[in-house]
Amino acid sequence: MTTTHLYLGIDCGTQGTKALILDSESGQVLGLGSAAHTLIQDAQGRREQDPGQWLHALQDATRQALVQAGISGQQIQGIGVSGQQHGLVLLDSQGEVLRPAKLWCDTESNDENSQLLQWLGGEAGSLERLGLVIAPGYTVSKLLWTKNHHPQVLARTAHILLPHDYLNYWLTGRCCSEYGDASGTGYFNVRTLQWDRELLRHIDPDGHLERALPELIEPRQPVGRIRPQIAKLLGLNPKAVVSSGGGDNMMAAIGTGNIEPGIITMSLGSSGTVYAFAPQPQVSPDAALACFCSSSGGWLPLICTLNLTNVTAAVRELFGLSLEAFNQLASQAPVGADGVSMLPFLNGERVPALPDATGSFQGLTAGNLTRANLCRAAMEGTTWGLRYGLDLLRRNGLQSRTIRLVGGGSKSPLWRQMVADIMATPVVCTEQSEAAALGAAIQAAWCLGAGSLTLSELCQRCVRLDPAGETWPVADNVRAYEHFYQRYRLQVAALTE
């Protein structure tokens, strides 16, 4: 194979790193690779990872993808990186990581988020100033937490980066950030596309944090060429260019063709997300609806739940079940799990806004306490939050006749049917379930001007829907689920009171 239209997409997620080789001329994915990460966690809400793991996983996943594609890394023209949003990576002046990265699902900084929100003037003040309401998990509260708990680390900090920014830095030696991922920090104004330096001066009056900010670049701007030693380490073309990359949701939007109005993407990953493209800032009075920027030159109104496949994985592990056995058991229980319901807030929750909530099973009796009902209740419980988010999007004028479903959970026929029924909307999967890695590769091709194609043309060529995964709602199920969804709303309302 001698094609010069090959691009590497990297997606650094919570559970692992994926690598994907894309031929932008044929639109075909030629190879895939993956490597797992481990989590540092405790009962206080700590959720951290060692960024060094990401580097090893990136190397392993890239090697696997190249082998599966049957190509030489010397043929790779460009690299795009997707990363889990909101994570905080602190580097010293030598570029060394100062402490483990606090992740999007970390809730240790809930108190700091409340303090910052109060300083901003509450939800209304945050909306007016930033164009969104800062939430627990956003990067800004992690900075205040670090100042309060590790002041010596903050004193040595020379660079504040997000996970995908850090991988770009490792690849190129340049510290920068693009608008999409930056808009999830909580110190970026999504209307003016600028850092809010005064907010950082409030946290650190000495201006130390302000000086550690990365340079901002536009989505189509490349970060630069891969460093020679990293190209050699990965076996890649030393002339390969690294694109701006972005947050995992922004890259998955590109990887599902969600770059123009009228499409809604729903991701069933460690977290659950629902989002749509908007050509202008879609600032909503609904605090749960985050008006992030896209990585395609627009905005990406988005809701995020903190609990999805992490919850079903926890139940699987509790019962010692394989993924196949878990799905089989859940399919044996009826809609509504015989009255068993789960509030799946193992990491607290962002949507609905319950940062201090915990998980619980409800409605248990001697007759319905079965593994099948508990498995199904975990799936249904996590999906209610996505319905809540979809309702928010629709209330704000963002409509779609179908939902494009991605993420690990989308591979389950049972879960696809559940989503279609609970949302009362047909769902369709993309052929490539690793949408964030695909989006990163497509963005790299766009950044390098592959064949002078527009991003829309590249998406039309490379994003393919899978007719076999198309799932339509069943009327009886829709009616039954509506009853159980209203029960969920009442249970959430009881928590908020």
Domain count, the chain: 1
Q: Compute the CA torsion angle 345, 348, 354, 358 (nearest 10 deg).
A: 60
356 noted as active-site residue: no
Return the beta strands (E) in 386-494 as ranges.
Answer: 403-406, 427-430, 465-471
Q: What is the identity of the amino acid at 51?
A: P
The pLDDT tens digits of the residues spanning 410-441 come to 999 999 999 999 999 999 999 998 999 999 99
Q: What is the pLDDT of residue 1?
A: 44
Residue 94 resides in a domain: yes
Given the residues 11, 106, 204, 248, select the one marked as catalytic: 248
8 A C-beta contact, residue 470 and residue 410: no
The H or E element that residue 180 is part of is helix 179-182
Residue 196's domain comprises: 6-247
The residue-averaged pLDDT of 267-271 equals 90
Whether residue 428 lies inside any domain: the answer is no
Q: What pTM was computed for the model?
A: 0.92
Strands 40-41 and 47-49, sheet pairing: antiparallel
The CA distance from 25 to 240, in Å, is 17
Q: Is 26 inside a domain boundary? A: yes
Whether 233 is in a domain gets the answer yes
In whole angstroms, how far apart are CA 172 and each of 10, 175, 225, 238, 240? Answer: 15, 9, 6, 11, 10
Q: What is the DSSP letter of 348?
A: B
49-59 pLDDT, tens per residue? 999 999 999 99
Q: Is residue 380 part of a domain?
A: no
> Is residue 225 assigned to a domain?
yes
Mean pLDDT to the nearest integer, 204-210: 93
Q: What ranges make up the beta strands (E) of 120-260? A: 159-161, 176-178, 188-189, 194-195, 215-217, 224-225, 241-242, 246-247
Give the 3-state DSSP-derived string for 101-127, with helices as H, strands as E and coil as C: EECCCCCCCHHHHHHHHHHHCHHHHHH
Q: Taking residues 120-143, what's their average pLDDT?
A: 95
State the CATH number of the domain containing residue 134: 3.30.420.40
d(CA 243, CA 442): 10
For residue 71, tell me if it sits in a domain.
Answer: yes
Helices marked H in 448-474: 455-462
- Binding-site residues, in ranges, read 85-86
What confidence tier does 450 reach under pLDDT thresholds 50, 70, 90?
low
Q: What is the mean pLDDT of residues 266-272?
A: 91
Alpha helices (H) in 268-407, listed in sequence order: 309-319, 323-332, 371-395
Mean pLDDT, all residues of the chain: 95
Could you tell me which residues are annotated as the binding site for substrate? Answer: 85-86
Structure tokens at 365: 């009796």
**Domain-embedded: residue 458:** no
